[in-house]
Copies of this chain bind each other. A is one copy, B any other.
Amino acid sequence: MTLIPSNIISRKRIALDMDEVIADVTPKFLDYYEKDTGTPIEKEMFWGRKVYEMPGGEHIRDYLHEPGFFADLPVMENSQEVVRWLHGHYDIFVVSAAMEFRNSLPDKRDWMQKHFPFIHWKNIVFCGDKSIIQADYMIDDHVKNLIAFKGKGLLYTATHNITEDRFARVDNWLEVRTFFEKELSAKR
């Protein structure tokens, strides 16, 4: 076996969040809100907040503890194609702060297998505090995760973060692709 110094072959690493980045939680939140309060709600009505910070929606966060909640979330638009493309250029680690919700863990593992089968289980991380994560880029909807991160942080737009301006922002997966196309061409 010939040992090659890792800095020659190593690719840069992206830590990629799940909920509200590749997995779309919002439609389920809207359904629960309408079902439980009798009032239909739209995403724009809780700009700057989470749905469970809305009047009458406080209990909705409890659903996150239920088995199955995370099992059938829709995939964020264009994320599969763009993550597959990124996977050709970077080491992708999917990093979810899932540890609070013990029942979410197998559901999230299965969801990844179903929707992102090209991401190896070795590259999936479930944690709590993301400051333990070592990577070059982090794509996340939570500013607290990006603040603790030493690499380049990209804030993925979600209702609760629209007033933030401390990080480069991406509104959708096509913008993620554009961002990394620029990173790659700058490297050449």
> Which residues of A are in contact with B by a Cβ distance under 8 Å?
13, 15, 93, 95, 99-100, 102-103, 105-106, 109-110, 120-129, 131-135
Contact = CB atoms under 8 A, between A and B. Distances in A.
Interface residues of chain A: helix, strand, loop or mixed (majority): mixed
Nearest to A122: B128
Contacts of A132: 13, 15, 93, 95, 125, 133-135
A73 to B, nearest CB: 17
18 contacts: A15-B132, A95-B132, A99-B121, A99-B122, A100-B121, A102-B105, A102-B106, A102-B110, A103-B106, A105-B106, A105-B109, A105-B126, A106-B106, A121-B128, A123-B128, A127-B127, A132-B133, A132-B135
Contacts of A125: 99, 125-128, 132
4 interchain residue pairs of minimum CB distance: A122-B128, A105-B105, A134-B134, A122-B129
Contacts of A128: 120-125
Given A99-B125, A133-B133, 20 more contacts: A93-B132, A95-B132, A99-B109, A99-B121, A99-B126, A100-B121, A102-B109, A102-B110, A103-B106, A105-B105, A105-B109, A122-B128, A124-B127, A124-B128, A125-B126, A126-B126, A127-B127, A132-B133, A132-B134, A134-B134
Contacts of A102: 105-106, 109-110
Contacts of A105: 102, 105-106, 109, 126
A95 B121 CA distance: 15
Nearest to A99: B121
A13 B131 CA distance: 11
Contacts of A126: 99, 105, 125-127
Nearest to A129: B122
Nearest to A113: B102
